């Protein structure tokens, strides 16, 4: 699942994925470069809370891709 985020005309995508270590996410810039990758979370709900806080605190607009 991916979320498309827009802030100040720069497009970011939060990619949510599962790794062998647990649920993770990464933020990808519009040019395809990975800005950051998260740690492995103990649960999907923990990862979801973090992603929701990122979106809320930075006023991103979300669109499911």
CATH assignment at residue 17: 3.30.160
Question: What integer pLDDT is reported at residue 40 of this predicted model?
Answer: 97
Confidence band, pLDDT 50/70/90 cuts, at residue 3: low
Q: Does residue 50 belong to any structural domain of this protein?
A: yes
Q: Does residue 64 belong to any structural domain of this protein?
A: no
Question: What integer pLDDT is reported at residue 65 of this predicted model?
Answer: 34
Q: Does residue 65 belong to any structural domain of this protein?
A: no
Report the domain count for the chain: 1
pTM metric for this prediction: 0.71
Q: Does residue 36 belong to any structural domain of this protein?
A: yes
Its domain, for residue 14, covers: 2-57
7-56 pLDDT, tens digit each:
556 677 788 889 999 999 888 887 888 889 999 999 999 999 998 888 87
HEC letters along the chain: CEEEEEECCEEEEEEEEEECCEEEEEEEECCCCEEEECCCCCCHHHHHHHHHHHHHHCCCEEEEC
Q: Does residue 27 belong to any structural domain of this protein?
A: yes
Q: Does residue 17 belong to any structural domain of this protein?
A: yes
């Amino acid at each position: 699942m991916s979320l498309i985020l827009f802030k100040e005309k720069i497009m970011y995508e939060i990619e949510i994925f599962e790794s062998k270590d647990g649920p993770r996410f990464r933020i990808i810039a519009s040019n395809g470069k990975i800005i950051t990758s998260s740690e492995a979370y103990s649960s999907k709900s923990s990862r979801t809370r973090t992603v929701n806080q990122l979106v809320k605190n930075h006023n991103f607009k979300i669109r499911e891709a």
